[in-house]
Amino acid sequence: MQRKELHAILDEDFISFLQQNSLYDSFSKGEIICGFCGDTITLENIYAIFYTDGYRFCCDKFGCAASFQSR
Ligand SMILES: [Zn+2]
């Protein structure tokens, strides 16, 4: 049986995370991109945040979410 994990991130949590890590400026300039496909991360498509040699972000495209799950 496969265990499913939800990585739903609340907008407010995501924004405070960005502010705490001095990433909010980059985010508002569209410089935060998905670590898998390179698309700009927005509040609409943020799927997950993970840490690999710095913070990386994952958008909610099926392929990226799958890569995130199996990384
Ligand atoms: Zn992506």
So where are the chain's domains? Answer: 11-70
57 C-alpha to center of ligand 1: Å? 8
Q: How far is Cα 56 from Cα 45, in angstroms, rounded to an integer?
A: 14
Which tens digits make up the pLDDT trace of 14-59? Answer: 899 999 999 999 999 999 999 999 999 999 999 999 998 899 999 9
The pLDDT score that the predictor gives to residue 37 is: 98
Determine the distance separating the centroid of ligand 1 and the alpha carbon of 62, expressed in angstroms: 8
User: Could you give the CA distance from residue 16 to residue 66 in angstroms, rounded to a whole number?
Assistant: 26
Residues 6+ apart with CB under 8 A from 32: 18, 23, 26, 40, 41, 57
Separation of CA 67 and ligand 1 centre (Å): 9
What band does 65 get if pLDDT is binned at 50, 70 and 90? very high
State pLDDT tens for residues 13-23: 889 999 999 99
Please give the distance, rounded to the nearest whole angstrom, from the Cα atom of residue 27 to the centre of ligand 1.
Answer: 15
CA of 1 to the centre of ligand 1 (A): 27
The phi and psi torsions of 4 (rounded to 5 degrees) equal: -100, 135
